């Protein structure tokens, strides 16, 4: 099935009333299986980079994923001693040695429709949801969540406890994007379509949403975003947790402030050396 044919089929099934769609479930399932396969092997992406550095979101792909949930029927699964229940349209992914993905045992799972490139290391426990794209050489550390349709670049380090938010609705919404060679510190949260440009460093504990103001001390500016145009962290920026005072009499009396991400510098060769934590772990790949 060609890309245009697949897109036309997804849009067709998405346009039907829910009752009619459910009645024709068996007709739609081959299209959904083909969509998930193309996502799993990386030929399709929910969002992809453009030559000018912008990102293009593909709403029809997210509409297809939503159809998987709508048409899925609960079924029991058993893998060894592990039992769980999930929809039959979105099973778990497995990897052969030829795919060169290290999925270390201990409670980790990758859902069908997620692409995991060669050289990716997944430490337990962690979870990668449908539609996500994780590119070559990335480290996914323990307790990391990569949400639906999130886009992770090459040689990214996602430190323990990092939460990369997912998005399916509205279909046109941009997913969270982390570009090549970025470093995401422990217990960070990236949500609502935040864009982390290549080589940026997000220090432990930083929380970013679409509308979080980010204070750039280097260039003396405030980076802002909206729900439609989420905030963007510049290339090579080093972002740490900060605090700004709340300007009201009550807040001043009680010494209250608001947590605020702050860009304190831009990456240098010395910063690069400190963030190259996983080189030895990847040597065997």
Q: What does the alpha-carbon distance between residue 176 and residue 186 come to, in Å, rounded to a whole number? A: 17
Domain 3-74 shares a fold with domain 97-277: no
Domains of the chain: which residue ranges?
Answer: 3-74, 97-277
In the predicted model, what is the mean pLDDT of the chain? 92
Tens digit of each residue's pLDDT (9 = 90 or more) over 136-188: 999 999 999 999 999 999 999 999 999 999 999 899 999 999 999 999 999 99
- Helical packing angle, 25-40 and 3-15, nearest 10°: 140
Q: Is the pLDDT of residue 283 over 60?
A: no
97-277 fold: UDP N-Acetylglucosamine Acyltransferase; domain 1 (2.160.10)
H or E, element range at 214? strand 214-216
Please enumerate in sequence order all residues whose Cβ is within 8 A of that of 175, keeping only pairs 6 or more positions apart, or say none.
Answer: 46, 47, 57, 131, 147, 148, 149, 150, 151, 166, 167, 193
Q: What is the pLDDT of residue 268?
A: 82
The region of weakest confidence among 53-57, 102-106, 219-223 is 102-106
Stated pTM of the model: 0.92
Please enumerate in sequence order all residues whose Cβ is within 8 A of that of 241, keeping only pairs 6 or more positions apart, or say none.
Answer: 203, 204, 205, 206, 259, 260, 261, 262
Q: What are phi and psi of 65, to 5 degrees?
A: -65, -40
- CATH number listed for the domain at residues 3-74: 1.10.166.10
Report, as an integer, the average pLDDT of 176-203: 97
């Amino acid at each position: 099935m060609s890309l245009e044919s697949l897109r036309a089929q997804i849009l067709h099934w998405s346009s039907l009333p829910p009752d009619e769609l459910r009645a024709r479930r068996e007709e739609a399932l081959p299209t959904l299986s083909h969509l998930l396969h193309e996502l799993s092997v990386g030929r399709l992406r929910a969002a992809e980079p453009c030559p000018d550095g912008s990102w293009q979101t593909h709403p029809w792909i997210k509409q297809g994923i939503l159809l998987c949930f709508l048409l899925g029927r609960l079924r029991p699964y058993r893998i060894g001693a592990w039992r769980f229940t999930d929809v039959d349209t979105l099973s778990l992914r497995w990897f052969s040695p030829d795919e060169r993905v290290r999925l270390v045992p201990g409670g980790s799972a990758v859902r069908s429709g997620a692409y995991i490139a060669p050289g990716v290391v997944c430490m337990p426990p962690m979870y990668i949801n449908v539609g996500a794209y994780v590119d070559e050489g990335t480290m996914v550390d323990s307790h990391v969540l990569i949400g639906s349709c999130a886009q992770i670049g090459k040689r990214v380090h996602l430190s323990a406890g990092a939460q990369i938010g997912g998005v399916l609705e509205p279909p046109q919404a941009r997913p969270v994007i982390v570009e090549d060679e970025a470093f995401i510190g422990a217990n960070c949260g990236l949500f609502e379509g935040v864009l982390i440009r290549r080589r940026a460093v997000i220090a432990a504990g930083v929380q970013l949403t679409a509308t979080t103001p980010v204070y750039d001390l280097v260039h003396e500016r405030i980076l802002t975003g909206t729900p439609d145009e989420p905030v963007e962290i510049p290339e090579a920026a080093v972002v740490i947790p900060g605090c700004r005072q709340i300007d009201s009499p009550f807040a001043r009396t009680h010494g209250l402030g608001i947590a605020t991400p702050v860009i304190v510098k831009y990456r240098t060769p010395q910063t690069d050396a400190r963030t190259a934590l996983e080189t030895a772990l990847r040597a065997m790949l």
